[in-house]
Amino acid sequence: MSEKVDLFVIGAGSGGVRAARIASGYGARVMVAEEYRVGGTCVIRGCVPKKLLVYASRFADEFEDAAGYGWTLSEPKFDWPTLIANKDREIARLEAAYTANLDRAKVKIVKSRAVMLDPNTIRLATTGETVHAKHILIATGATPHLGGDIPGIGYVISSNEAFHLPQLPKRILIQGGGYIALEFATIFNGLGTEVTVVYRGENILRGFDDEVRTHLRGELEKRGIRILTKQVVVRMEKLDHELRVVLSEHEDVAVDQAMFATGRKPNIEHIGLEAAGVALGQTGGIAVNEFSQSSVPNIYAIGDVTNRVNLTPVAIREGHAFADTVYGGKPTPVNHSDVPTAVFSEPEVGVVGLTEAEACRALAKVDIYKSTFRPLKATLAGRDTRTFMKLVVDGHTDRVVGCHIVGPEAGEMIQLIGVAVKMKATKADFDATMAVHPTAAEELVTMREKSATHVRQAAE
Ligand SMILES: Cc1cc2nc3c(=O)[nH]c(=O)nc-3n(C[C@H](O)[C@H](O)[C@H](O)COP(=O)(O)OP(=O)(O)OC[C@H]3O[C@@H](n4cnc5c(N)ncnc54)[C@H](O)[C@@H]3O)c2cc1C
């Protein structure tokens, strides 16, 4: 006889864990299946281990910059296996904490792949047992997508394997121009690897503000990262001691490691979507409404598997809103506008709201304020780097509709600017806020001169 639950969650990642805990708190009988490790992508092989590697890579600048501030250091040495072992220990600790939190919340965890047999029945792959559920929540996340099957693709790693390389490569080629590609490019660059980034588009960071893209590219190139755009890897050959990578623009690059960060695809395969009758949306994820309800009324989907805004805090919010809606008697739609986000490259990027181009398409009048300056810390250090900031303002309402930062601590800054943008703060509100001096963030409240005004002809 199959076990009966109120809610069966497929996937114990960011969204699934939150939904399971909150639903259980409302009194639902909840079971969650996880086929790999509790915590999901973010904790096990995404945001958290990535940020730990980012911290490791940034010591290189600190050691270099210290000389300008009077320090004399013996030559620093870096050991990759030590970093990876310490990182793995911390991830194991976090996984245990997530498991303990689910246990405390009385959520039953099954370490198994789960597949839907119909809208109310789930099969556990490890034991073959079935579970009957009133509601099913699909929170299966996404997987690296390496693109087409080119010769030598077997030599390529994704971000999953990058976290577990046995040794630090001396030379790496990273294909991709998105945030994961660029974060790993700066991690490896900071740790002393020679890095080549190959991207098929015109410029890196597609979808970000054009000036952010150009500024970041310049900064990465100053750090010695080679960025080759408008080309792709066409094949790879393993030679005795290296990998020969052939590019579409006929250049060969010899490296020790090739990594592709060419996108992620929702985990929709072999989870029984057809059997349950769950429909897909246009972007390849599970189609859902604003309450994360799928085409089958008792089946919901949250997080990366829906391919809406693929970030951890969004998956968590969607999971919480689902539980409030279905078990808490509080129908809670999720608003996906003005989601602040960061790229933990070196320098960092932090953005919220509309880009200049998006604002020009959406609004009749747009005012732009921007500033480029040398961070104070770089002066004595003698470091050649510049910070870039831009405010995008609705010219008619004075509302700040976008903020874009490239520079140290951009991620920390944009979290707080995100509050102001969400509250619909105006440029006058920014101006009325006293500066904190001396900081980089003060620039955001002291930009007096418009650098451009765009007026849409037809609207005026
Ligand atoms: C390298 C990298 C860096 C990132 N950095 C950031 C960042 O800095 N900030 C940020 O906000 N986001 C970041 N992300 C994105 C973030 O990790 C995801 O948006 C987030 O984890 C999505 O949560 P989720 O709950 O949808 O899925 P996941 O966290 O991916 O969880 C899905 C879980 O479901 C399990 N699963 C799948 N199928 C089944 C099945 N059939 N049965 C049982 N279990 C199953 C998987 O094993 C997985 O554990 C990063 C991602 C990567 C890859």
Query: How confident is the model over 318-350, as pLDDT tens digits?
Result: 999 999 999 999 999 999 999 999 999 999 999
pLDDT in tens, 362-409: 999 999 999 999 999 999 999 999 999 999 999 999 999 999 999 999
What is the pLDDT confidence band of residue 181, given thresholds at 50, 70 and 90? very high
Percent of the chain with pLDDT over 70: 99
Residue with CA nearest ligand 1 atom 31: 13
What is residue 2's predicted lDDT score, i.e. its pLDDT? 79
pLDDT at position 250 is: 75
13 Cα to the center of ligand 1, angstroms: 6
Q: Is the pLDDT of residue 459 over 60?
A: no
Taking CA atoms only, the protein residue closest to ligand 1 atom 8 is 47
- Per-residue confidence (pLDDT) for residue 193, from 0 to 100: 98
Looking only at the bridges linking them, the beta strands covering 114-118 and 243-247 are unpaired
- Would the pLDDT of 456 be above 60? yes
Distance 393 CA to ligand 1 centre (A): 34
Bridge partner residues of 388 (DSSP): 372, 406
The 10s digit of each residue's pLDDT in 224-278 is: 999 999 999 999 999 999 999 999 997 899 999 999 999 999 999 999 999 999 9
Which of 10, 124, 140 gets mutated to test ligand 1 (max ligand atoms within 8 A of its CB)? 140
Atom of ligand 1 nearest to the CA of 15: 25
State the pLDDT at residue 59. 98
Task: Tell me what the mean pLDDT of segment 269-296 comes to.
Answer: 98
Test site for ligand 1: of 9, 10, 17, 41, most ligand atoms within 8 A of the Cβ: 41
The three state secondary structure string of the chain is: CCEEEEEEEECCCHHHHHHHHHHHHCCCCEEEECCCCCCHHHHHHCHHHHHHHHHHHHHHHHHHHHHHHCCCCCCCCCCHHHHHHHHHHHHHHHHHHHHHHHHHCCCEEECCCEEEEECCEEEECCCCCEEEEEEEEECCCEEECCCCCCCCHHHEECHHHHCCCCCCCCEEEEECCCHHHHHHHHHHHHCCCEEEEEECCCCCCCCCCHHHHHHHHHHHHHCCCEEEECCCEEEEEECCCCEEEEECCCCEEEECEEEECCCEEECCCCCCHHHHCCCECCCCCECCCCCCECCCCCEEECHHHHCCCCCHHHHHHHHHHHHHHHCCCCCCCCCCCCCCEEECCCCCEEEEECCHHHHHHHCCEEEEEEEEECCHHHHHHCCCCCEEEEEEEECCCCEEEEEEEECCCHHHHHHHHHHHHHCCCEHHHHHHCCCCCCCCHHHHHCCCCCCEEEECHHHC
Active-site residues, by number, are 437
Mean per-residue pLDDT over the chain, rounded: 97
Q: What is the pLDDT of residue 214?
A: 98
| Residue whose CA lies nearest to ligand 1 atom number 48 | 40
Between β-strands 400-406 and 387-394, what pairing exists: parallel, antiparallel or unpaired?
A: antiparallel
- The predicted pLDDT at position 458 comes to 59
Stretch 178-200: mean pLDDT, rounded? 98
What is the whole-number distance in angstroms between the Cα of residue 286 and the centre of ligand 1?
A: 15
Mean pLDDT of 220-225: 98
Q: Which of 47, 270, 414 to mutate to test the pocket of ligand 1 (most atoms within 8 A of CB)?
A: 47
Answer whether the bond into residue 438 is a cis peptide, omega within 30°.
yes
- Contact, 388 vs 351, CB < 8 A? no
Strand pairing of 142-144 and 243-247?
Answer: unpaired
| Nearest ligand 1 atom, CA 40 | 49
Rounded average pLDDT over 35-60? 98
**Over 90: is that where the pLDDT of 72 sits?**
yes
The token pair that represents 217 in the structure block: 């590219």
**CA-proximal residue: ligand 1, atom 30 (nearest):** 141
For residue 401, the model assigns a pLDDT of: 98
Q: Are the beta carbons of 248 and 231 closer than 8 angstroms?
A: yes
Question: Is the confidence at residue 1, as pLDDT, over 60?
Answer: no
Ligand 1 geometric centre to CA of 41 (Å): 3
Q: How far is the CA of 406 from the centre of ligand 1 (A)?
A: 26
At 368-381, the pLDDT tens digits run 999 999 999 999 99
